[in-house]
Each structure stands twice: as C-alpha cells, then as structure tokens.
Amino acid sequence: MRKKIIAGNWKMNMTPSKAAAFLNENKAACESDTADVVFCVPAVDIIPAVEAVKGTGIEIGAENLYFQDKGAYTGEIAADMLVDAGVKYVIIGHSERREYFAETDETVNKKVLKAFEYGLTPIICCGETLTQREQGITIDWVRMQIKIAFLNVTAEQAKKAVIAYEPIWAIGTGVVATTEQAEEVCTAIRKCIGEIYDAETADAIRIQYGGSVSAASAPELFAQPDIDGGLVGGASLKPDFAKIVHYDEQ
Ligand code: PGA
C-alpha cells in the first residue's frame, strides 16, 4: 500500500517571516498520520521553514536545485546546500521552470540524478499543454518526459521517486482536470514506469496529481487507485491546505 503524499508548492510567494508565521499557525492542523506532508518553499524560506516544523511530521522541500555540485554558477543552489539546510524533497522540472527558465527533459534528468546522489527525494513534474491534449498526444508526451527524466535512474532510486502529473492547462487556472482525465494519465505513467523497470517499481512509485487542487476536488482525485496525493500550488498558501491533507476525513 503506497502512502499518500500531499505537497504544497509555494512558488514565488511568502517572505521568510511570513513563511515561519504561516507554518507556526497551521502546522498542527497540517500534520497527518496517514500521509506524508511536505511544503516546498522558496530558497530563502527554507531555513525558517525547517525550524518552524521541527518536532512535527511535516517535511520541507525546495522548488529547484542545480545539477552541478558547486562552483561558478551564480544564483544557483546545490544539492548539498539543500541537504545541510534540512530539506528532504525537491521539485524538479515544474512546467513554470520549463517555460520561463528553459529547463528541458535533459536538465530535468541531470537534476533527478543529482537529487538521488544526495539522498533528496525528487518530485518530478510532467504534463501536457492544452494543444497537446486537444491533439490527443497527452500520453505520448508524458511518456516521453518520464522516459527521459528516468534515464540512468536505478530501480531502487525510482521506487523512492515522486512523480507529479500536472496538466499545464490546469495549473493556476481554477480548471481542475476531471477525475477520469487525471487517473487515466497517472495510470499510463505507472505503466510506463513498469515498462522501464518492473511491476514492483511501478507499484512502489508515488504519482501525484497537480493543477488547481482544492479542498473540494481533493477527496475524489486522491481516492483514485493510481493517484497517490497531490502537488498543490495556490491552496497551499492558505489554511485550507489542512483540509486537503485531511481529504479523507471531510
Ligand atoms: P495550482 O498549482 O494548485 O495553483 O494550480 C499547482 C502547481 O503548479 O504545482
């Protein structure tokens, strides 16, 4: 039985002091006995966020990392910096990073390998545009993203990975994918992992849905057999996130 994982993605929101205040106010409500709960926060918020959730079961994640160990890469953040700061998860290849910061499937793969090298759990994002969905190539597209993201990743590593299926047209738009659409692609992703590795790896890997998840849509989405939780943007900046964490108690 896979444990659900509900992760917030704060994107470029919350100053360090606001991050600490928000987590201190909401951490008790966001703890869960049944799901892993993660807040992925801006780099400067990581240290106060780790401090704020100390002693709870909540983990802090980063929103990005660089694939080199160290050196002359002004503005970038290395895996060992994240580890030293207390980070456990890192979002890799979010569609906003692909669109605005020229990330490719190849850089995503390098970052995934770097995350594993340092013991960080990658939350690997994939998903189609509206045009791709309308053209009927969603599953082909997502399979390609997954196959490149997992190049040279071992089965043991893949079992620990988290994949976030996020249709781009559903991100920040308030247009959530239907339960059937989300489950169809998450099932296809699991099948693809089974083809790359084996049935055991496909069964172990956790696949989230992301894109306008709310307290209202979470219960049905997260109850699907191939959806193991969510990557939540806008709603993770509000106390409502606790309701999403406790989607099965509503
Ligand atoms: P959203 O963002 O929940 O605000 O749509 C999800 C994401 O981009 O991870």
Q: What confidence tens digit (pLDDT) does each residue in 145-158 have?
A: 999 999 999 999 99
Please pick, among 63, 103, 128, 166, the residue that the annotation labels catalytic: 166
- Does the beta carbon of 185 sit less than 6 angstroms from any atom of ligand 1? no
164 Cα nearest atom in ligand 1: 9
231 Cα nearest atom in ligand 1: 9
Active site (annotated) includes residue 246: no
Nearest CA to ligand 1 atom 1: 233
Region 193-222 average pLDDT: 98
Confidence band of 1 (pLDDT split at 50, 70, 90)? confident
Q: Model pTM? A: 0.98
Q: What is the pLDDT of residue 250?
A: 67
Active site (annotated) includes residue 166: yes
- Does the beta carbon of 61 sit less than 6 angstroms from any atom of ligand 1? no
Residue 179, C-beta contacts closer than 8 angstroms, at least 6 positions apart: 220, 221, 224
From residue 76, give the alpha-carbon distance in Å to each of 24, 43, 50, 163: 28, 10, 20, 23
CB 64 within 8 A of CB 97: yes
What is the three-class DSSP state of 147? helix
